[in-house]
Amino acid sequence: MRFFLRRTAFYLFTAWAAITINFFLPRFLKGDPVSAYIAKNQGLISPDAAAALRTLFGLDKNQSLLEQYISYWKLLLSGDLGRSFSKGLAPVTDVIASALPWTIGLVGIATIISFVIGTTLGAYAGWRRGSKADALIPITTFFSTVPYFWLGLIAIAFFATTLGWFPASHAYDKGASPELTWDFIGQVINHGTLPALTIVVSSLGGWVLGMRNMMVTVMDEDYVTVAQAKGLPPRKVLINYAARNAVLPQLSSFALSLGFIVGGTLVMELVFSYPGVGKLLLDATNAKDYPLMQGLFLIITLTILVANILADVAYAILDPRTRQSEA
């Protein structure tokens, strides 16, 4: 139990830290584009929307920093992240809400697939080291050093444009509107294959290498020799004794590197013009739509935090020592 208490305390602290960074980000950056925008669109913005924007961006100097901080939190808790300039003053929260599922679908699933495939390949490479399986390491490492966006561009140039196997962009055919029909789901999968494939291929290297090294270390442990001495079939030794222990550090590093990986794969959405949070963030940057950018950064961080929690829960399930020893 104690283990969960400590972990939740850490997550709350991280969430608070992310929100606080988001609070201070606009404040210490120079320039004040927001009030210029408000001044320009005096008529369009309702007074309370303007007030919300001023709090979000710390524009009302008369309030002390602390008061601004408190009202900032009030806004957050009420789910108001201000108005998006580039999206016709629509509430930022709604804009993000429409894009988030796509990102979770594409980046989330692709990252999990990449982790699972990478770990299995790594286990196999660790198990059969010295054989041709060793060739796996340089290949996957090469793909992991290749920049994501470049791999995406090449994939589009090759598979989509030249071979025409997959559509080059968007999440579904033009004109179609999102609804739960098989045809639409078919489109989504069709559109999503290429970007997902490039994410998996480019992030595979890290997992394969990590798992192989862990397998090599674990296989010299005594309990693996005991399993052999017990005459257990090799497959049982590989899975229940060797891989089961080797996957633990792999899982904890997965949890912690989510920030880096998800951050990187968001660019994939730009290359494939996929309607996720990543593309939204890049468009907002070009359009200097600061409220949307701030909101996006916060939501992305919190989503990664949630993914982190899930990974940690999986770790606790797999490793009994964390449950018992801490309690």
Partner 1 sequence: MTTLEFKDVTKRYRIRGTGDFLALDKVNFTLTSGKTIALVGQSGSGKSTIAKILTQLERATSGEVLLDGKPIPRRGRALRSYRQQVRMVFQDPFASLNPYHTIRHHIERPLRLDKVVPNEEVENEVYRLLERVRLEPNDVIDRRPHELSGGQRQRVAIARALASRPSLLIADEPVSMLDVSIRLGVLNLLADLQRENNLGVLYITHDLATARHFSDEIMVLNRGVVVERGNADDVILNPQHAYTRELRDASPNPDKHFAAPGTTSPRS
Partner 2 sequence: MTQPETAVMAAVADPAPRTARKQTPFTKFAQAFSMFRNGKSITGLCILGFFVLVAIFGDLLAPYGPLDKDFSALRQGPSSTHWLGTTHMGEDVLSQLIYGTRGVLVVGFAAGIIATLIAVIIGVTAGYMGGWKSESLSAITNVFLVIPALPLMIIVASQYENPSLLLIAGVLALTGWAWGSRVLRAQTMSLRNRDFVQAARANGEPLYRIIAVEMLPNLIAIIASSFVGTVTAAVLGLTTLAFIGVIPITNLNWGTILFWAQQNGAFPDFWWWYVPAGLCIALLGMALSLINFGIDEYVNPRLRSAGERAREMRKKGIKVTSSVTAVRTTPTSGTQPDDGAASAPRHASPAVDLDAVTPVAPPAPANPDDTTAR
Partner 3 sequence: MTLDKNQERIVTSDNLLTVSNFSVMYDVDPPVEAVRDVSLTLKRGEILGLAGESGCGKTTLAYGIQRLLKPPAVITQGSAIFHDKAGEDIDLNSLDEKQMRAFRWNKASMVFQGAMNALNPVVNIGKQLGDVFTTHRPELSRAERHEESARLLEIVGVGRDRLRAFPHELSGGMRQRVMIAMALALKPQLMIMDEPTTALDVLVQREILQQISDLRKEFGFSVIFITHDLPLLLEISDRIAVMRAGKVVEINTAEQIYHHAEHEYTRKLLASFPSLTGERGDFVRGTSSVETGA
Contact partner at residue 223 from partner 2, partner 3, partner 1, none, CB < 5 to 8 Å by partner kind: partner 3
Closer to partner 2 at the Cβ: 176 or 216?
A: 216
Closest approach of partner 2 to the CB of residue 315, in Å: 14
Q: Which tokens belong to 7?
A: 């972990």
Any contact of residue 327 with partner 1 (CB under 8 A)? yes
- Out of 78, 131, 240, 285, name the contact with partner 3 by CB under 8 A: 240
Give the CA count within 13 Å in the CB-facing half-sphere of 174. 4
Contact partner at residue 296 from partner 1, partner 2, partner 3, none, CB < 5 to 8 Å by partner kind: partner 2
Any contact of residue 73 with partner 2 (CB under 8 A)? no
183-212: contacts with partner 1 (CB under 8 A): none
Q: Which stretch binds partner 3 (CB under 8 A): 50-58, 117-125, 227-235, 270-278?
A: 227-235
Closer to partner 2 at the Cβ: 89 or 296?
A: 296
Closer to partner 2 at the Cβ: 104 or 282?
A: 282
- Alpha-carbon distances, residue 33 vs 29, 65, 287 (angstroms): 11, 20, 12
Closest approach of partner 1 to the CB of residue 77, in Å: 33
Any contact of residue 14 with partner 2 (CB under 8 A)? yes
Closer to partner 3 at the Cβ: 138 or 234?
A: 234
Contact partner at residue 2 from partner 1, partner 3, partner 2, none, CB < 5 to 8 Å by partner kind: partner 1
# chain residues binding partner 1, by CB under 8 A: 3
Any contact of residue 9 with partner 1 (CB under 8 A)? no
Closest approach of partner 2 to the CB of residue 222, in Å: 6
Q: Which stretch binds partner 2 (CB under 8 A): 37-45, 63-71, 158-166, 187-195?
A: 158-166
- 3-class SS letters over the chain: CHHHHHHHHHHHHHHHHHHHHHHHHHHHCCCCHHHHHHHHCCCCCCHHHHHHHHHHCCCCCCCCHHHHHHHHHHHHHCCCCCECCCCCCCEHHHHHHHHHHHHHHHHHHHHHHHHHHHHHHHHHHHHCCCCHHHHHHHHHHHHHHCCHHHHHHHHHHHHHHHCCCCCCCCCCCCCCCCCCCHHHHHHHHHHHHHHHHHHHHHHHHHHHHHHHHHHHHHCCCHHHHHHHHCCCCHHHHHHHHHHHHHHHHHHHHHHHHHHHHHHHHHHHHHHCCCCCHHHHHHHHHHCCCHHHHHHHHHHHHHHHHHHHHHHHHHHHHHCHHHHHHHC
Closest approach of partner 2 to the CB of residue 117, in Å: 17
Closer to partner 1 at the Cβ: 27 or 321?
A: 321
Any contact of residue 248 with partner 3 (CB under 8 A)? yes
Any contact of residue 157 with partner 2 (CB under 8 A)? yes
Which of 136, 294, 303, 145 is CA-nearest to residue 209? 136
CA distance 203 to 143: 8
- Out of 2, 27, 40, 128, name the contact with partner 1 by CB under 8 A: 2
Closer to partner 3 at the Cβ: 90 or 313?
A: 313
Which of 58, 63, 59 is CA-nearest to residue 20? 58
Residues near partner 3, by CB under 8 A: 221-223, 225-233, 236, 240-241, 244-245, 248, 318-321, 324-325
